[in-house]
Amino acid sequence: MSETYWGWSNDEDIRKRGESGGFVSSLVESLVGEYDRVITINKTGTVFEGKVVEVSDPSEVKNIQGALHSLCISMSAYIKKGVRTAIVLKPCDARAVIENIKRNHASRDEVLLIGLNCGGTLPSVDTMKMIGLEFHIQPDEVVKEEIDKGNLVFITKDEEFSKSIDELEESGYGRRESCRYCDYKIPSVCDIACGNWGTPSGKNMTFVEVFSEKGAHVLGSARERGFVSVKEPSEKLANIRSKINSSMKKMAKKWKGKVLDSLMDLTPEERLRVISDTLSPCIGCYACRKACPVCNCTSDCKCMQMDPDDDLPISQYHAVRLLHLMESCIGCGNCTDVCPVDIPLARLHQLFARTYEDRTGYRPGMSVDDVPPLSRGDYPEGY
Amino acid sequence: MSFEPKIVAFLCNWCSYGAADMAGTSRLQYPPNIRVIRFMCSGRIDPNFVLEAFLRGADGVMMTGCHIGDCHYIDGNYKTVHRYEFLKNYLDIMGIGADRLQLEWCSAAEGQKFSEKVTEFTERIKELGPSPLKAGDE
């Protein structure tokens, strides 16, 4: 099922402050008390910094910040078994939650996923550097940043700076690499997906898509209690939304061809050489394992007992991680972010996962009913 | 000196090990390139074992078990099949080559088949040459 609306907050203050009519803030406000934990992100200082918070008092909602593109926090870590949790997250986080649910780390009934449409996130440090070089402004001068019609926009107190993302990415800035070839922009695995694509300009509204009965129930209850209002979207703007989505996907496909498929075009020997050379600077800090939202062996994790710095051609640690993530990598890019020696790990994991997806159609994090290939035990056809 | 491949063969206790035994007692000849590791069931072959074999210098890996439907543990070898398919994709993307992994079903009565398959596989690996993971070792 899927129903679409334009929604906005009934609280004038939140509506004015919020990025797109404050719909998400007010929806979150309506959930406080209904769920054991309500989790979202707060801005701390500049738009490049923030932290994960548990909202326990409705008044705290005023600090919630809309889309912080330069903040890539993995939200799936905040889901716990037996705790009813409502969480606001981006599409890759939502897929990570689904992968965790598949492996029995939570139950789908206990979590309410409020997804945000995502055109990609920015690496915070590089972006701060970039705005200094390109626009000659300081990071703390920026009061708002957004991605609009293929442009990256930074707004200071008195000026607006924008530049095409394509151009920035050609010169090595722009979105994180894993976001460039990510083709999952509207989080359809969530209960509700919100975004600013397909909203009338200047009207301060959020485009809301409801995907599940639970989502419809939550939205209905928030409307009844007067937190949010919704109305039917115009067909024209709903079409624009799907057009933005498909053009984003097209762009992702182009990047996938450039970054991932080009590796598959190499001869096997060359590819093996590239993989082992890419991994060779590893210092064995296990940060990629710890930051990975879908890596979920707990205390008996075998990877943590393997030496990433062993003398094998490709360390067993990385070989096993590449193997396991081939069926579960959702392409969040956390591993690349945390690597202290800048190994593009997400590129390798996505090379395996996306190629496997192309061949077999198995895509991790899309449904709790999909059985991961390594866990399958059903009758094999053709053997 | 000609290339003598190192092949690791994972055999299940109930069928393929019996097949290897049968090949031995029947005095059937096959190349001495395989190193046999016995498992209680082919379903116990963790993909990590196959990986480690390759990483530690195997030129090829053979997984063998009971025929589908004849598994001593009823459906252990169903799992083997899914893992095998997954591993083939992995080895191919990694650049090691899916050809270096082989799955065969041999019942305890199929000593003849076992020796034939081992011969075939050894020939194939000889043609493929040493594992690319070993490049630069010698």
Pairing of strands A37-43, A85-89: parallel
Establish if B128 touches chain A: CB-CB under 8 angstroms: no
Contact A323 B90 (CB under 8 A): yes
The helices-and-strands tally (H runs, E runs) of chain A is 14, 11
The residue among A130 and A343 whose pLDDT is bigger is A343
Domain residues of chain B, as ranges?
7-132
Alpha-helix residue ranges (DSSP H) falling in chain A: 12-17, 23-31, 91-102, 124-135, 165-170, 177-180, 213-224, 235-256, 262-264, 268-279, 287-291, 316-326, 334-338, 345-360
Closest chain B residue to A319 measured between Cα atoms? B51
Q: What value does the mean pLDDT take over residues A312-337?
A: 94
Q: What is the DSSP letter of A155?
A: E
Q: Which of A314, A316, A373 lies nearest to residue B82, judging by beta carbons?
A: A373
- Chain A residues near residue B92 by CB distance under 8 angstroms: 268
Q: Where is pLDDT greater, at A66 or A366?
A: A366
Helices B76-94 & A345-360, crossing angle to 10 degrees?
120
B99-114 confidence digits (pLDDT tens): 999 999 999 999 999 9
Residue of A323, A351, A376 with shortest CB distance to B82: A376
Instruction: Give A383: exposed, middle or buried? Use CB within 10 Å, 0-12, 13-18, 19+.
Output: middle
> What are the pLDDT digits (tens) for A64-106?
766 677 777 888 889 999 999 999 999 999 999 999 999 999 9
At residue A47, the pLDDT reads 81
Q: For position A186, what pLDDT does the model report?
A: 95
Nearest CA in chain A to B85: A373
Nearest CA in chain B to A269: B95
Using the beta-carbon criterion (under 8 Å), do A268 and B79 form an inter-chain contact?
no
Q: Report residue A164 as tokens.
A: 């095409």
Q: State whether B68 and A356 contact (CB < 8 Å).
A: no
| A272: nearest CB among B78, B87, B96 | B96
φ/ψ of residue A41, rounded to 5: -115, 140
Which among A57, A43, A54, A69 has a CA at the least distance from the CA of A128? A69
Residue A143 sits at φ, ψ, to 5 deg, of -100, -20
List CB contacts of A216: < 8 A, sequence separation 6 or more: A1, A3, A210
Q: If we measure between CA atoms, which residue out of A227, A230, A190 comes closest to residue A210?
A: A190
Question: pLDDT for B75-103, tens place per residue?
Answer: 999 999 999 999 999 999 999 999 999 99
CA separation for the pair A275, A273 (Å, rounded): 5
Provide the CB-side half-sphere exposure for A188 (13 A, CA): 9
Q: Do A224 and A319 touch, CB atoms closer than 8 A?
A: no
pLDDT score of A66: 62
| Selection from A31-45, A73-87, A156-170, A341-355 with the highest mean pLDDT | A341-355
Percentage of the residues of chain A whose pLDDT score is greater than 70 = 99
**What does the mean pLDDT of chain B come to?**
94
Residue of B nearest to A270 (CA): B95
Residue B136 pLDDT > 60, yes or no? Answer: no
Burial class (CB in 10 A: 0-12, 13-18, 19+), A73: middle
Whether B55 and A313 lie within 8 Å, measured CB to CB: yes
φ, ψ dihedrals at B34, nearest 5°: -90, 145
Question: Cα(A66)–Cα(B56) distance, rounded to whole angstroms?
Answer: 50
- Report CB contact under 8 Å: A268, B135: no
DSSP H helices, A123-187, are 124-135, 165-170, 177-180
* Cβ <8 Å between A351 and B93: yes
Q: What is the pLDDT of residue A166?
A: 85
- The helix/strand/coil state of B12 is strand
CATH class of B7-132: alpha beta
| Whether B31 contacts chain A with CB within 8 A | no
Mutate which of A326, A352, A375 to test chain B, going by most B C-beta atoms within 10 A?
A326
Closest Cα in chain A, distance from residue B86 (Å): 7
Residue A157 has a pLDDT of: 86
Model pLDDT, residue A87: 94
Give the minimum alpha-carbon distance from A173 to chain B in angstroms, rounded to a whole number: 29
User: Whole-number mean pLDDT of chain A?
Assistant: 90
| Contact assessment for residue A116 and residue A187, using Cβ atoms and an 8 Å cutoff | yes
Q: Which helix (H) or strand (E) holds B77?
A: helix B76-94
Greatest alpha-carbon span in chain B: 46
| Dihedral over alpha carbons A279, A282, A287, A293 (to 10 degrees) | 0
DSSP string across A10-40? S-HHHHHHSTTTTHHHHHHHHHBTTBSEEEE
pLDDT score recorded for residue B137 = 54
Rounded to whole angstroms, how far apart are CA atoms A146 and A162?
Answer: 9
- Phi-psi category of residue A302: left, alpha or beta, with phi > 0 → left and psi -120 to 50 → alpha: alpha
B chain contacts of residue A326, beta-carbon cutoff 8 Å? 86, 89-90, 93
Structure tokens at A16: 């004015």
Among A125-129, A215-219, A378-382, the range scoring the smallest mean pLDDT is A125-129
Look-up of token digits 């997954």: B86
Query: pLDDT tier at A150 (50, 70, 90 boundaries)?
Result: confident
**Which tens digit of pLDDT belongs to each residue from A164-173?**
888 888 888 8
Residue A1 is predicted with a pLDDT of 67
**With contacts defined as CB-CB under 8 Å, which chain B residues touch A272?**
94-96, 132-133
d(CA A182, CA A202): 29
Find out whether A11 and A26 touch, Cβ atoms under 8 Å: yes
Put simply, the answer to whether B48 touches A383 (Cβ < 8 Å) is: no
Distance from CA of A220 to the nearest CA of B (A): 44
Q: What pLDDT score was predicted for residue A62?
A: 75
d(Cα B88, Cα A302) in Å, to the nearest integer? 22
Q: Is B138 on the interface with A (CB under 8 A)?
A: no
Check A355 against B93: CB less than 8 A apart: yes
CB contacts < 8 A, A to B, total 89
- What span, in angstroms and rounded, lies between the C-alpha atoms of A118 and A195? 8
CA distance, residue B12 to nearest chain A CA (Å): 17
State whether residue B89 sits within 8 Å of chain A by CB. yes
Residue pair A141/A157 in contact (Cβ under 8 Å)? The answer is: yes
Q: Which of B63, B80, B81, B93 to mutate to test the interface with A (most CBs of A within 10 A)?
A: B93
Q: How many CB atoms lie within 10 A of CB A83?
A: 13
What letter would DSSP give residue A183?
Answer: -
Q: Which residues contact A349 (CB under 8 A, 6 or more apart)?
A: A321, A322, A325, A326, A329, A331, A335
